[in-house]
Amino acid sequence: MKILGIDPGTTRLGYGILTVQGSKIIVQDYGIIGYQAGTPPERLKAIYNGLTKLIKKHQPDRIGIEQLFFYKNQKTAMRVSQAHGVAMLTASLAGVPVAEFTPAQVKQAVSGYGSADKQQVQRAIKMVLGLKEIPKPDDAADALAVALTCSLGNK
């Protein structure tokens, strides 16, 4: 099974792709789709185009997306919500099933502690996926954590 994990953000969207073969989990790809923060139509189009290319290239069986949980800044929340919505739409148009996860669910699944900090989650990702270093940028590491959560059958 191939899983695409997505971490939507205001200026970039992290992605991570894992292949699960029995108990073996293989990292296929990870990175970011960058876009302009201040131009909503172009930004949303960049998300759609970037995700469409990833889906066509990797043909995931399932997509996991981190849910917007809480932001103090309403403007930030709106931008992340837009990115989340475009990711959901892109997955739906591609016919790929989507699972959504809260940050606490991802932290719990990856590190065993729902209140883990970012560094704890990143170290857990490195260890569990057998990587030589913590994936950079943070958005890509977070997306791998979402993909890993999705691979574990968490809903």
User: What kind and span of H or E run contains 111?
Assistant: helix 103-111
Catalytic residue annotation: 7, 66, 139
Domain housing 98: 2-151
pLDDT digits (tens, 9 = 90+) for 28-80: 999 999 877 667 788 899 999 999 999 999 999 999 999 976 666 777 788 88
Q: What CATH number is attached to the domain comprising 44?
A: 3.30.420.10
What per-residue confidence (pLDDT) applies to 26? 96
Residue 11: its pLDDT value, please?
A: 85
CA distance 122 to 84: 22
Q: What total number of domains does the chain contain?
A: 1
Of the listed ranges 32-41, 115-124, 131-140, the least confidently predicted one is: 32-41
C-alpha dist (Å) from residue 103 to 100, 117, 145, 146: 10, 10, 10, 9
Quick one: pLDDT at residue 78?
Answer: 83
Residue 155 pLDDT greater than 60, yes or no? no
| pLDDT surpasses 80 at 20 | yes
